[in-house]
Structure 1
């Protein structure tokens, strides 16, 4: 199935510091590409893969699960680790969960973590109904386009496949259990008003990770897809500063220093 225009993966060969960007559930690299291009323009090596089942049609996603999505970013991390001296992982929404799982499992290979509106739990009655409901109902209403900025548009599915949603629920349980294994420096940015993921998820992450170097930033002017919203530039700037602080020669070839 052809990839939707604009949803293609993004890869930029830069310096010896690499950044892996993980997009969200039913979304695509389009929601993260401006962020990736910003980091690439500063000399970083950037990998933004397209998760299996995403960026085409929701029927394709129905055939995938969390193991496929995680395997995709795990492979991308390995490729960056071979290419770069230091690697950072970043994620939006479910991509934040994927980034945190990577951090928990690859503590020596990941220098820092940046998450934006991370999702680590399915909330409400749907959390209890999913195991049975997915056998009766194939899809529910999509969650794309939660953007405050006028004209903001996210390339994402207008339907959520329930088999995939149930698999995401399993991923969240694994990530939640592994949060104490996250020890890297962490930058968490969350929107004050988010109609997809409640503040509880960010609070859960902050309360359970073992990182000593933690910073939280509240985004006052954006909704869930903050990387395409009013606070996008701040996200880009703060993440670049975070990388530069931990890898002082980021953007340069021939060594990262520090």
Structure 2
């Protein structure tokens, strides 16, 4: 039985966001692993003009291409990629899902304003280098058009009604110190999903980029066991 894994990165990110996890899977399995880069994303951002429909189309094309090569497809989604993974699970035959820091209740406009106020306050106190939100976004402020953020929010709202229709096995990983997606989002997602086979792993010290945290050595093997059905 051949297995394929489709890994989808986050908003304004790229495959590098899930690289530690995909590297782990490659070294412990013979699965085919695909890591598409969504339109306008990657190492250099050129997001202007791209909409949610383009990102969904990118993911669908990647899924269909992988599904032709293997018997079963697992979908892994990080942040916005987690929402796209749920979209795919509603529309295609996905074997299992792994949702990493999934942005099910991502930043609302109010939250954005709050976060930027916090950044301004920390800038005033010269403490920006220690702020995760700043580190995540300081290079992106000039490269992420507001229209793209609006498209992202549109995508999150569009997929939310799908949660209660998802019945396949799902493993959710969420950092409690995530400065981008509030950690209680993962509990909301866990409760909403109709799956009976579902696991929620909280990383006590994990931030948004969960694949780079120290406890990866703990949850990488657990996720792999879950995916192998052991």
Query: 2:39 matched to 1:55?
Result: no
Residue 156 of structure 1 deviates from its aligned partner by 9.3
The residue aligned with 2:170 is 186
Residue 190 of structure 1 deviates from its aligned partner by 0.6
**Partners of 2:139 and 2:112 in 1: CA distance:** 23
After superposition, the C-alpha distances for 1:40-79 in whole angstroms (9 at most, x for unaligned) are 2221110111111012544x21221111111111111111
After superposition, the C-alpha distances for 1:176-233 in whole angstroms (9 at most, x for unaligned) are 1111111100101111111000023212211211101011111122201011222233
The residue aligned with 2:140 is 158
The residue aligned with 2:90 is 104
Instruction: Identify if the C-alpha distance between structure 1 residues 215 and 62 changes in structure 2 by more than 3 Å, giving closer, same or farther.
Output: same
SS state at 1:196 partner: coil
Residue 128 of structure 1 deviates from its aligned partner by 9.9
After superposition, the C-alpha distances for 1:95-137 in whole angstroms (9 at most, x for unaligned) are 111111111111xx211101011102343444799xxxxxxxx
**Partners of 2:138 and 2:61 in 1: CA distance:** 23
SS state at 1:20 partner: strand
Instruction: Identify if the C-alpha distance between structure 1 residues 197 and 88 changes in structure 2 by more than 3 Å, giving closer, same or farther.
Output: same
SS state at 1:83 partner: coil
More helix by share: 2
Instruction: Identify if the C-alpha distance between structure 1 residues 126 and 62 changes in structure 2 by more than 3 Å, giving closer, same or farther.
Output: farther
Query: 2:78 matched to 1:92?
Result: yes
Query: 2:217 matched to 1:230?
Result: no
Choose which of 202, 211, 216 in structure 1 pairs with 2:186. 202
Query: 2:106 matched to 1:119?
Result: no
In the comparison of the two structures, how many residue pairs are matched?
209
Structure 1 outlier segments of 4+, above 3 Å: 122-129, 153-157
**Partners of 1:188 and 1:38 in 2: CA distance:** 17
**Partners of 2:173 and 2:7 in 1: CA distance:** 15
The residue aligned with 2:21 is 35
**Partners of 2:43 and 2:31 in 1: CA distance:** 28
Choose which of 220, 239, 243 in structure 1 pairs with 2:227. 243
After superposition, the C-alpha distances for 1:232-254 in whole angstroms (9 at most, x for unaligned) are 333422221111117xxxxxxxx
5+ residue gaps in structure 2?
A: 114-130
Instruction: Identify if the C-alpha distance between structure 1 residues 222 and 194 changes in structure 2 by more than 3 Å, giving closer, same or farther.
Output: same
SS state at 2:185 partner: helix
**Partners of 1:161 and 1:235 in 2: CA distance:** 35
How does the TM-score come out when normalised to structure 1?
0.74
How does the TM-score come out when normalised to structure 2?
0.83
5+ residue gaps in structure 1?
A: 1-14, 130-144, 148-152, 247-258
* Contact 2:107/2:180, CA 8 A, preserved across alignment: no
**Partners of 1:154 and 1:50 in 2: CA distance:** 18
